[in-house]
Amino acid sequence: MRTMMVSISLFVVYFLTFSTYVHGQNKCEAFIDLTLIIDSSGSVSPNDFEQGKKALLDLVSRLNVATEKAGVAIINFASTPTLSAQTDVYEFERGNLFQQIADLPRIGTNTATGDALALADAYCQSNCRDISKGVPRIFAIFTDGHSNEGRPAIPAAQALRSSPVEGTIFAVGIGNIGADGDAELLGLAGDKDYVMNIDSYLDLARVTNAITMKMCEFPAFVGPDIKIQGEMTGNSTRYYKMHTLKKAKKNSFFEIQLNDRTGKTVVYTSTTNKKPSASTSRSMTSRAVGSGNTYTTYVPANAENFYFSVKGVSATLNQFDFTVRVRPL
């Protein structure tokens, strides 16, 4: 009974403290499917684990958690991400999420990072929103070291990034994780831009706003010939990415046909910049037949990815849809 009362008290304190971020400049309005993967192995002290939970509560409070906005899943892992070693909750209700995080137990065994990532992959394939929604699938893993049990971590991460989930892994190392830990973080993310090192769990709580804002700018994967609908408020931007024809060794044109339903938007494209802007865009714009604009970009055969952004121009609400067609040369 005493444990339950403490948990409820902590939840109330956390909710009152972090709900102040619901409005204002620290709020992320992005549409994302976010999975938080939390290391609670024996090397994480009880005090550090509690500091980590406070940071996660802060992070979640900065998201616009709602059915048509941000959704959050939680995996708490150590030796195995099963039973008491994991909590997989996909929620769109802020208060419930706060309680779930406050109740996370510290497990205190070994570190099976690969098993946690495999669970995240399977879970998202069943529960994340359909790829036609154009919603980024983001997997943020917080760890104080490298995996020492279970399936190999880096192949599990590679499988997650290349599976139908098409996820982006954001690997956060906390404390002195050593050379092996640093190498594993890079292998998990597959991209140095998606790796962050933090000195301590106390420092983690100080940089949650930076982490949240960074994740909210990660691109969503979209496929060709699929109509995607999107929206944003004010002068904000949504980011997307696509596979190129590199495997086929073919140059191509990527044509984005965009229609504004409410407000006005503009498209920027790039084959190198994950967040294309007016200064980096490679597209040529033409008026589409009927309505909307078509943005055409030449994509060479050696390009790793095709990136584009849709920026809202109207000060209030911008709603749009687009379809991308790939024309091999």
Convert the pLDDT of each residue in 42-93 to its tens digit.
999 999 999 999 999 999 999 988 777 888 989 999 986 543 335 566 677 7
Q: Closest by alpha carbon to 185, among 167, 197, 175, 201?
A: 197
Does residue 201 sit in the same domain as residue 227?
no
Of the three residues 156, 189, 217, the one that is the final residue of a domain is 217
Convert the pLDDT of each residue in 237-253 to its tens digit.
999 999 999 999 999 99
Q: Closest by alpha carbon to 74, among 107, 137, 123, 136?
A: 123
If one counts the domains in the chain, the total is 2
104 Rama class: left (phi>0) / alpha (psi -120 to 50) / beta: beta
Look at strands 137-143 and 70-77 and give their pairing: unpaired
Q: pLDDT-derived band of residue 290, with 50, 70 and 90 as boundaries?
A: low
Does residue 114 sit in the same domain as residue 237?
no
Of 1 and 209, the one with more pLDDT: 209
First to last CA, the chain: 69
User: What six digits make up the tokens of 327?
Assistant: 């024309």
Q: pLDDT-derived band of residue 6, with 50, 70 and 90 as boundaries?
A: very low
Of the three residues 168, 184, 217, the one that is the final residue of a domain is 217
Of 16 and 153, the one with more pLDDT: 153
Which segments of 64-191 does DSSP mark as H helices, in order? Answer: 94-102, 113-127, 153-162, 178-189
Is the residue at 314 inside a domain? yes
Half-sphere exposure of 221 (CA within 13 A, CB side): 19
Domain encompassing residue 277: 220-328
Does residue 243 sit in the same domain as residue 192?
no
Q: pLDDT-derived band of residue 326, with 50, 70 and 90 as boundaries?
A: very high
The pLDDT assigned to 50 comes to 95
Q: pLDDT-derived band of residue 126, with 50, 70 and 90 as boundaries?
A: confident
Question: In the predicted model, what is the mean pLDDT of the chain?
Answer: 86
Task: Report yes or no: 38 and 105 within 8 Å, Cβ to Cβ.
Answer: no
Which residue type is seen at 56? L
The pLDDT assigned to 22 comes to 41
How many other C-beta atoms lie within 10 A of the C-beta of residue 82? 11
The pLDDT assigned to 12 comes to 45
The pLDDT assigned to 207 comes to 93
Task: Report yes or no: 133 and 37 within 8 Å, Cβ to Cβ.
Answer: no
Is the residue at 17 inside a domain? no
The pLDDT assigned to 235 comes to 78
Three-state DSSP class for residue 51: helix
Answer yes or no: is pLDDT of 1 > 90.
no
Convert the pLDDT of each residue in 136-186 to its tens digit.
999 999 999 899 998 999 999 999 998 888 999 999 999 999 999 999 999
Whichever domain contains 276, its CATH number is 2.60.120.380
Of the three residues 194, 217, 240, the one that is the final residue of a domain is 217
Does residue 159 sit in the same domain as residue 280?
no
Q: How far apart are CA 264 and CA 261, in angstroms?
A: 8
Does residue 49 sit in the same domain as residue 184?
yes
The pLDDT assigned to 291 comes to 66
- Please provide residue 161's backbone torsions phi and psi, each rounded to the nearest 5 degrees: -70, -30
The pLDDT assigned to 288 comes to 60
Query: What is the average per-residue pLDDT within 107-114?
Result: 92
The pLDDT assigned to 88 comes to 60
Does residue 163 sit in the same domain as residue 198?
yes
The pLDDT assigned to 94 comes to 81
Convert the pLDDT of each residue in 189-215 to its tens digit.
999 999 999 999 999 989 999 999 999
Is the residue at 4 inside a domain? no
Is the residue at 1 inside a domain? no
Answer yes or no: is pLDDT of 318 > 50.
yes
Answer yes or no: is pLDDT of 320 > 80.
yes
Does residue 244 sit in the same domain as residue 119?
no
Q: pLDDT-derived band of residue 281, with 50, 70 and 90 as boundaries?
A: confident
Three-state DSSP class for residue 234: coil
Q: How far apart are CA 21 and CA 307, in angstroms?
A: 31
Query: What is the average per-residue pLDDT within 12-19?
Result: 46
